[in-house]
Amino acid sequence: MELIKQRGGLASLAHSSEYLKPLILHSLILGVMANTTTPPSQHVPTTSQLDLIAIMTELYGDGIYPILLCPPYLFIDVIKINNLRFQTTSAPITETTRATADEILEHIEAFSPDDWTGTNPDAREDWLLLGRMYKCSIALYCISSLQSLSILPSSKYYTAMRTVHGNHLYSLLPKITRRTRIRHFTIWPLVVAGMQAVDASPNVRRIVDEQLSELSKIMGCPTPTLAKAIFRRFWTSGQTGWDECFDKANVLWTGLAGLITYLIVISVYRLFSHPLRNIPGPKLAAVTHLYEWYYDLFLGGKYLFEIEGMHERYGPIVRINAREIHINDPKYYDEIYASGTHRRNKDAEFVSFTGLLLSSASTTDHDLHRYRRGLMNNFFSKKSVRGISYFVEEKVHNLMQRFEAFYRCNKVVRLDDAFAAMTSDVITHYCYGKSWDYLDYANLRTDVRKAVHDLTCSVHFNRIFPIFLAVLKKLPLQWLYAIHPGRSVVLDIQKTIYEQSAEAIHGDKYKIGHNDAVDKHKTIYDQLTDPSIPAEERSLQRLQDEGLLLVSAGTETTARALTTACFHIASDDQVRTRLREELRTVLPTPTSSVTWSELEKLPYLTGTVNESLRLGGFLTTRSPRIAPDEPLTYKEYTIPPGTPVSSSSYFGHKNPNIFPEPEKFSPERWISAGRNNDHLFKYITSFSRGSRICAGMNLAFLELYMTLAYFVRRFDVELVDTTVEDMKIVRDMRVGFTHRGEPTVYGRIVRVYED
C-alpha cells in the first residue's frame, strides 16, 4: 500500500490512468462487501472508511457495475455502517454512536426506489426490483449488525422493522431470480436473507437454500455454496446475532479483495515505476499479460497482428507486455540477435512451450547454448552437407518418381504433404543414418508434420501454462497412449526417437550406408554421445529433446518454403517460364544431374529460393533475446539489461521499404538488388541470426535448390482448389497458419517434360 500512497492515494491513482479505474473500483467494492460479513476487528483495510465515500461517489457513478448493482445512495450507507462497526474495536459505544446509527437508518428509510428508477428508464421494472431489494437488504444489515454490537437496542420497534423488511425481501427474491438480466446480482441480498432466516420458517430457509444453489450454478463460482454451509450451521446453532453468524473473516471475499489489491499495486508499479515505463505502447498491455493472452489463447494466435497495429500507432519500438519490448526495424535486428561476441540469452518464459527444454533451441543461457551448438557445428557445416548431397539428391529423385506416378493416374495431390514427406526422409537419414521412408507409402506419410501440427495447435496454451506440458512429459508413453489415443502418430514418433536415443547410449551407431569415404559420416548420436562430453550432456532426455527438435525443425520449415515456391511458380507463367529456361543451362534434359554448387550460381533460381524463404519459410513467432550484461540503445530509448527484446520475421520479410510490393513473389527483385549491390539477404531472417542462427540452414538450402530445380525442370502443375487467400497467414501458432490451418496446396501434375 506504500506504493499507492506515494502515488497520492487511491483517488489520485484513479485519475492517473483510465485502465486502473475498473481495478480500483472492483477492489473497493469487494473490500466494502467483505467487511459486512467479517468481524469488525478483522475488517479488510481498503482505505480510511469514510474517505471511501468521496472516491466511490466519483467512481461508482450510477451504480452500474458488473458485480454489484446497488444504488450509490445506499452503498454509501453500507460504508458508514462498516465504519461505525469498526469504531467499536477502539472506542466505547456512546449516545453519539447510537445517534449516528439512527441517522444512517433514517437515511436508508428515506431512499425511494421509484425516484432512483427514474434515472434508469430502460428496463424500469428490473431497476425498481433492484432498488427495493437493496433497500430492504441494507436496512436489515444496519439493524442486525449494529444490534449484534449493542449499538442499537433489541427493542420492539427495531424488531418490527426487521420483520417488515425481511418479509419484503423474501417476497422480492423469487421475482428477481426469475429475471435473467439481474439475477446474477442477488448474492449479497441473499446472504442478508440467509442470516435473517434464522428467525423465519423452515419453508423460508428452504427457499433461501435453493436460491443459493441455483445462483452458484448461474454465477459459476463457489461463493453461494459457501454461504449455504455457513447458514446451515448457523440455523441449527441456537444463536441469532449477525456477528455470531459471521464469526470469522469470510475467506473468499477477503481473498478476492486481497487479489484485486495486489493487482492494483502491481499495475501501479508496471505503469509508473517499472524500468520500461517510458517505452511507448498500450497501457493495458503494460499492466497485464491478460491482454496478450486474450489475443493468443482466446482468439487463437492473433497477437502478432495486434503487435503490428501497435507499431502503426506507437512507432517502431513498443512495449508489448509487462516485461517485453518488440522492435520493428530490420536494421536493428542484428543488435537484438547479436553474434557470439555479445552474450544473448533466450527468454526462459518463452521457450517452455516446446517441452524440449534440454534441446539447443530451448537452451536459455548463452554460454551453454554455445557449447551445445558447438557439438553440432561440424555436423551441419556446409562442407559436411555438401559431402553427402548425393543422398539428398536420391530423396529428391524419389519424390520426382512419386510425382510421375501421380501424373499417370491423374491424381490430385497435396503438394505440401509431398514436400514434408521428402524433408522428413532427408532429416531422419541425415541425423540417424536411416530414413523413415515416408515417400514410399502410397499416401505419403506425414507423421512428423502431424506431430509439429499437434504441438503448434497448443503452443500458446503450453507457453502460458507450462506446468501442463511438464506433467505430461513425466508420464510413461504407454500412459499417454491411453490418455490421448488421438495423438498416437505423435507418440509413435516420440517413441521411435526415444528408442534410437537409448540405442545410441548403449553403443549402437548408424551409417549412411555407402561403401565410400562418406561412409564415415557420423550420426547426430555419434556427435552427442562422444565420451569426451560431460555425462549430464549425454543424458537420455537430452538426446531425446535434441532429436525431436531436429526432426521437427528439419521437416517443417523447408517443406513450407517449397510449398510457397511451388504455389507461386504454378500461379505465374512468367516466373515458371523464366526459371525453366535458366535451369536448361545446367539441366539440358529433365533427367540430367546437377550439383548444388552449379545451382547456387543461377541468379533466377537463387531469387526463387530467397522469395520462398521470405514469404513462407520462416517462424512467425517472436523469439525474445535478453542481453544480460549490457544495456541496449534504440534511438532515444535505453533498454535495461535483462529485458526480453524481440523482432518478428513476419514484419521484416514484408517491410515495403525493403521489399516493394511485399506480397508479390518476385525473384527479379533479387537480381536487381545484385546489380545495385544491395545486400537484401541480410533482411531474410528465416534462420534467425547471430550466435543462435539455425544449425540446419545449409541442409535446408541444399534441399531447396535441388528440389526446385528438378521439380520445375520436369513438371507443370495445375492448382486445384487453392488460391492466394489460402496462402495468407492469419494466425501465429509459432508457424504461420492460414484459414485452413497449415498452408495447403492441392495440385495436379498436368505435364511431364521429356526434353
> How confident is the model at residue 18, as a pLDDT?
55
457 marked among binding-site residues: no
What's the pLDDT tens digit per position in 97-107? Answer: 999 999 999 99
Residue 270 lies in a domain: no
Query: How close are the terminal C-alpha atoms of the chain, in Å?
Result: 81
Per cent of the chain over pLDDT 90 is 55
3-class secondary structure per residue, 421-433 = HHHHHHHHHHHHC
Section 365-393 average pLDDT: 90
Q: Span 176-192, mean pLDDT? A: 83
pLDDT digits (tens, 9 = 90+) for 537-590: 988 788 888 888 888 899 999 999 999 999 999 999 999 999 999 999 999 999
- Tell me whether residue 712 is in a domain: yes
Number of neighbours of residue 118 by Cβ within 10 angstroms: 12
Of the residues 236, 271, 291, the one at which a domain ends: 236
The number of domains in the chain is 2
CB 208, CB 197: distance < 8 Å? yes
Asked if pLDDT for residue 269 goes beyond 90, the answer is no
Query: Among 109-118, 221-230, 410-419, 544-553, which stretch is predicted with the lowest mean pLDDT?
Result: 221-230
| Averaged pLDDT for residues 355-363 | 88
The mean pLDDT value for 721-749 works out to 95
pLDDT: which is higher, 538 or 193? 193
C-alpha cell of residue 721? 482448389
Q: Any long-range contacts for 639-645 (C-beta under 8 Å, 24+ apart)?
A: 639/276, 639/325, 640/275, 640/276, 643/275, 643/276, 643/323, 643/324, 643/325, 644/323, 644/324, 644/325, 644/347, 644/349, 644/350, 645/324, 645/325, 645/326, 645/327, 645/336
Q: Which of 220, 236, 252 is the last residue of a domain?
A: 236
Question: What is the chain's mean pLDDT, rounded?
Answer: 85
User: How sure is the predictor about 51, in pLDDT bands with cuts at 50, 70 and 90?
Assistant: low
Residue 39 has pLDDT above 80, yes or no: yes
Reduce the DSSP state of residue 524 to 3 states and report it: helix
* End residue of a domain, out of 217, 236, 255: 236
Taking residue 585's Cβ as centre, other Cβ atoms within 10 Å add up to 11
213 falls within a domain = yes
pLDDT of 102 reads 95
pLDDT given for residue 513 in this prediction = 40
Torsion angle, CA of 163/166/172/174, rounded to 10 degrees? -120
636 in a structural domain? yes
Closest CA to 732 of 457, 448, 338, 330: 457
How remote is the C-alpha of 124 from its chain's centroid? 42
Q: The domain spanning residue 445 has which CATH number?
A: 1.10.630.10
Question: What is the C-alpha to C-alpha distance for residues 34 and 492, in angstroms, rounded to an integer?
Answer: 54
Would you say residue 22 lies in a domain? yes
Is 426 inside any structural domain?
A: yes
| 363: pLDDT strictly greater than 70 | yes
β-pairing, 637-639 vs 632-634, is antiparallel
Q: Who contacts 510 (Cβ-Cβ below 8 Å, separation ≥6)?
A: 432, 433, 434, 523, 525
DSSP string over 259-308: HHHHHHHHHHIIIIISTTTTS-S-HHHHH-THHHHIIIIITTS-HHHHHH
With cut-offs at 50, 70 and 90, classify the pLDDT of residue 10. Answer: low
Phi and psi for 634 in degrees, rounded to 5?
-125, 110
Do 224 and 371 lie in a common domain?
no
Cα separation, 516 vs 497, in Å, equals: 27
**In what helix (H) or strand (E) does residue 67 lie, and over which residues does it extend?**
none
The pLDDT tens digits for 633-662 are: 999 999 999 999 999 999 999 999 999 999
In a domain, 309, yes or no: no
Of 492 and 9, which is predicted with more confidence? 492
Q: Higher confidence at residue 573 or residue 516?
A: 573
pLDDT for res 66 = 47
In angstroms, the CA 494 to CA 501 distance is 10
pLDDT band for 516, please (50, 70, 90 cuts). very low
Q: Which residues of 240-277 are buried (b: 16+ CB within 10 A; e: fewer)?
A: bbbbebbeebbebbbebbeebbebbbbbbebbeebebe
Of 8-12, 51-55, 241-245, the poorest mean pLDDT is in: 8-12
Residue ranges making up the domain that contains 211: 1-236
pLDDT of residue 249: 65
pLDDT at site 540: 79
Q: Quote the CA–CA distance of 85 and 63 in Å, as a whole number.
A: 24
Q: 3-class DSSP state for residue 644?
A: strand
In this structure, are 54 and 197 located in the same domain? yes
Q: Are strands 325-327 and 644-646 parallel, antiparallel or unpaired?
A: parallel
- Quick check: is 570 in a domain? yes
